[in-house]
Amino acid sequence: MNEENNNLSNGTNSGINTVKTVLVIIVLILLIALLSFTLYDKVINKNNANNNQTNTGDSNESIPTLTMTDDEIYRKNNNVSDNDVTSFLPYIITDNEKALLQDLVFPFNSINDTFEGNVSFTVRWDNFNIDNMTQQEKNYFVVYKVGKYEEVVPGYDIPEECEECYKFDDEQYNTYVSEDVVKNLYEKIFGKDVEFKNENATIEEHLCGVPYLYDSNSKKYWGNSACGGESVEGSKFSIITKIEKVNDKIEVYLQVGQIDMSNEDAYTILKYNDSDDILWTGRSENVKSNIIDLAKQNKLDSYKFTFKKQSDGKYYIYSGEWQ
């Protein structure tokens, strides 16, 4: 009987030892796995850090940023389509400079705009300062930037007596933009610190198709889309090359030029202010890379926008000038 109990006890002890052995093995496996994972994670982080250091180098070095995929706010503020990001000219600025850019609203839609397609009308880039602009000039900047206007009737089908049209000096106007749209965009461009009044939106060289006559009864700015002009086989373009924060201002430097596309086999890059100054001629697929090269070398025309801080802490357009 004692012998049976001893055998039973030995068997039980043997089973317990086996379980303990299995548990020890499992614990060892888990420890090894945990150690391996920790070492792997450290190696990956170290490699990433090395790669980042290699890519960034000196923090003051200008790093080309060749895509606009991070600039949702900038594109939304400036009516830039994101359907085909690759068609837009890239920046040549650092990520820190890019952060200063994203909240800015430019007075023109052609900042970093695509050069593909024919462009018949553009706002002439001249020197300007908000303090010296008339209300009509500021309103025109805004109406022009709206870009898309409502039509009461199609431009080339306006009847002799158009009941829906706005009539002024025996003329009928079929396109419009509401004063609410103008006021909201005005504050977005110029800020609430700059006074707004509903007045005609006019400049010395008024562009065809842009609503400019303000009617207080309908509370709309009216224009006429039944107009035309000489088609231009080319386009203006700009590329941002530097952004600086100076006291209460942000200064944005650009290289600006134009492209002659009249010859499909040989596009030509020209200065913005001198159509006779040919900088490059070649195939269309090589245009973009050559624009970037010319901009880096400051061989195009140089322009500077200045944005000024207002009472809400944000920066709004203040001036523009050729350099």
Residue 125 domain-assigned (yes or no): no
Q: What is the mean pLDDT of residues 1-14?
A: 50
The pLDDT tens digits of the residues spanning 192-225 come to 999 999 999 887 666 677 899 999 999 999 988 8
Position with higher pLDDT, 153 vs 5 = 153
Highest mean pLDDT pick, 135-149, 186-200, 230-244: 186-200
Q: Residue 149: CA atoms inside 13 Å, Cβ hemisphere, count?
A: 28
Whether residues 241 and 304 fall in one domain: yes
Whether residues 113 and 248 fall in one domain: yes
Whether residues 269 and 302 fall in one domain: yes
Domain that holds residue 72: 63-120+230-323
Find, among 258, 283, 302, the residue nearest to 115 by Cα.
Answer: 258
3-state secondary structure (DSSP) of residue 219: coil
Q: What is the mean pLDDT of residues 142-170?
A: 85
Whether residues 308 and 172 fall in one domain: no
C-alpha span between 107 and 17 (Å, rounded): 82
Burial 3-36 (b: 16+ CB within 10 A, else e): eeeeeeeeeeeeeeeeeeeeeeeeeeeeeeeeee
User: Residue 258 has what pLDDT?
Assistant: 84
Whether residues 219 and 234 fall in one domain: no
Tally DSSP H helices, then E strands, for the chain.
6, 13
Q: How many domains does the chain have?
A: 3
Cα 90–chain centre separation:
10
Q: What is the mean pLDDT of residues 8-30?
A: 62
Residue position matching structure tokens 């002659």: 260
Alpha-carbon dihedral angle through residues 225, 223, 209, 158, given to the nearest 10 degrees: 10
Is pLDDT of 133 > 70? yes
Whether residues 81 and 157 fall in one domain: no
Q: Mean pLDDT across the chain, nearest whole number?
A: 75
Residue ending a domain, among 229, 245, 269, is 229
User: Residue 38 has what pLDDT?
Assistant: 57
Alpha-carbon dihedral angle through residues 236, 199, 173, 113, given to the nearest 10 degrees: 20
C-alpha span between 100 and 305 (Å, rounded): 13
The pLDDT tens digits of the residues spanning 167-189 come to 988 888 999 999 999 999 999 99
Band of residue 71 on the pLDDT scale cut at 50, 70, 90:
low
Residue 24 domain-assigned (yes or no): yes
Whether residues 82 and 137 fall in one domain: no
CA Rg, the chain, in Å? 32
Q: What is the phi/psi pair of residue 99, to 5°? A: -65, -35
Task: Say what the pTM is.
Answer: 0.70
Band of residue 124 on the pLDDT scale cut at 50, 70, 90:
low
Whether residues 116 and 234 fall in one domain: yes
With DSSP H G I counted as helix, E B as strand and the rest as coil, what are the percentages for the chain, rounded to 5?
Answer: 35, 25, 40
Whether residues 47 and 84 fall in one domain: no
Whether residues 238 and 212 fall in one domain: no
Residue 48 domain-assigned (yes or no): yes
